[in-house]
């Protein structure tokens, strides 16, 4: 636990990693090394916008859509 900020402790990262690991094994089954940052960003968004924090599915969807407004979806193959 941090002496400065009592909300920072190892349980937070252990909980996040548990959710990430379960999602990777249960949903995606495989993660290419070059796409790991994208998977982590998705799970970070999910973890930061969860029901335990009082955020509903509707609120989470609205937040997601605000983040993509005006952006083009582009995919480029890794070299």
Write out pLDDT tens, residues 13-55. 888 888 888 888 888 777 788 888 888 888 888 888 776 778 8
Q: For residue 48, what are the domain limits? A: 27-53
**pTM over cut 0.75:** no
With cut-offs at 50, 70 and 90, classify the pLDDT of residue 2: low
* C-beta atoms surrounding 45 within 10 Å: 14
Residue 58 lies in a domain: no
Say which residues have a Cβ less than 8 Å from residue 21's Cβ, sequence separation at least 6: none
In a domain, 60, yes or no: no
Whole-Å CA distances, 5 to 9, 15, 32, 50: 9, 18, 35, 22
What local confidence, expressed as pLDDT, does residue 79 receive?
61
Residue 74 maps to a domain = no
Q: Dihedral angle at the C-alpha atoms of 11, 16, 20, 22, nearest 10 degrees?
A: 50
Is 40 a domain residue? yes
Number of structural domains (the chain) is 1
Beta strands in the chain (DSSP E): none
């Amino acid at each position: 636990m941090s002496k400065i900020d009592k909300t920072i402790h190892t349980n937070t990262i252990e909980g996040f990693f548990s959710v990430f690991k379960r999602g990777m094994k249960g949903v995606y089954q495989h993660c290419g090394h070059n796409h790991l940052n994208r998977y982590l960003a998705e799970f970070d968004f999910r973890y930061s916008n969860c029901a335990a924090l009082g955020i509903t599915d509707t609120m989470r969807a609205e937040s997601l859509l605000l983040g993509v407004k005006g952006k083009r979806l582009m995919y480029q193959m890794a070299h």
